Structure 1
Amino acid sequence: MLGGSSFGFRFDVRAHQELKLREQEKEGEDTAMETDFTTIDYLKEGGARQREAYDELTRLGLMEALASHKPLLAGTIPLGIDLLGSDLDILCEVYDFDRFEKEVREFAGGQPAFRCSRRTVNGMPRFVASFQSGVFPVEIFAQPLPTTSQNGYRHLVVEHRLLLRMGDAGRRTVRRLKAAGRKTEPAFAELLGLEGDPYARLLELERCTDAELDELVEGARSKWS
């Protein structure tokens, strides 16, 4: 009999999650360098999870299939603060949603757990498709905006600048907050003492000089050092 109780063993989900979290931290996915997020080439030189993401995107051919829509990878995986189950978030610039949905369905409609939807938020239309590819959930997010102007990419760039200053200890603390249930932007806002809407406050930091970000991070460093 292979029942866990017969061997006096009980699988502890929380302990397993904490172990995987420590393994990610040990990788030290140090992004203390200038990174070109307009390609996915940097993933090849990243941590194990980032290299795995590169291999999956390459195998799938997703960036090539979406090339005419200027796709960019956003989210937490590029920053090395992802958790198990984090999405590969692909941003696209799209103006003809009917045509784009047809393209996505033809390319990814047969993938496990495929679904798509459209809605308008704050007057801005958006299209979202999601599916599973290997070990990664994938989300394709499209708006009629250049991908470098979409909030997902803007947050990515700001958070990268912050993590360069926060160091490995800051990165580990962000990841631990996320493991405890925080979303990414609220986790950053909590650590940096930013009040109000965390998504808007993070975008405001785009205008900060390097010196201003240095001052902000140094003033909050005791929260993760």
Structure 2
Amino acid sequence: MSPVPPEGLVVGGDGLARPAWAATDPLLREYYDTEWGLPVRDERGVFERLSLEAFQSGLSWRTILAKRPAFRAAFDGFDPEAVAGYGEADVERLLGDAGIVRNRAKVRATIANARATVDLRPDGGLAALVWSFRPAAAPAPRTAAEVPSQSAESVALARALRSRGFRFVGPTTMFALMEAIGVVDTHLVGAHRRGSSGVWPAAEGPAAAAAG
């Protein structure tokens, strides 16, 4: 008789335990298995993910992930310098691109965020700023309901980014960014990816931190 997986996890045909959101859809499963939560520390990588998280606001992540190749083509591979140079003609070009999310406020925010990213370089850069808000310990959720949607650190990060001219960087969006790039680990306890980032041990969490 097969063991019952921990609550909130689904064991796939490959024997690996994943959260329900990543258990069945091939695109989400691939993203979960190979990318989500792994450290991203380069400027372009962080800018891309910050941009995609902003576009995701109000939509499903599945929708954004499916459009990711089109987003990369439309935004010059999310090269901050290239996007920072966009003008009104580029805004209209992007709004006419059916492959991406055509939202004028989000398009303009991405351009503004590219300019803010370039402006941050003398002070250490975007990646360093985001990673400076890494918490002292990661949560240890056992169910999806226990995964937080924001934290004191994401609130502070959102405030810091807004002060530097960034847009669409609310605390919930920034917490999602922090999860995506490994700044915080919210993999469910028992999931095969928990602790795989090299940043957080599998047992890391408030209890483990207190024990340490």
Q: TM-score range by the shorter chain?
A: 0.3 to 0.5
Structure 2 length normalisation: TM-score?
Answer: 0.35
Please report the TM-score for the alignment, with normalisation by the length of structure 1. 0.34
Q: Which has the higher strand share?
A: 1
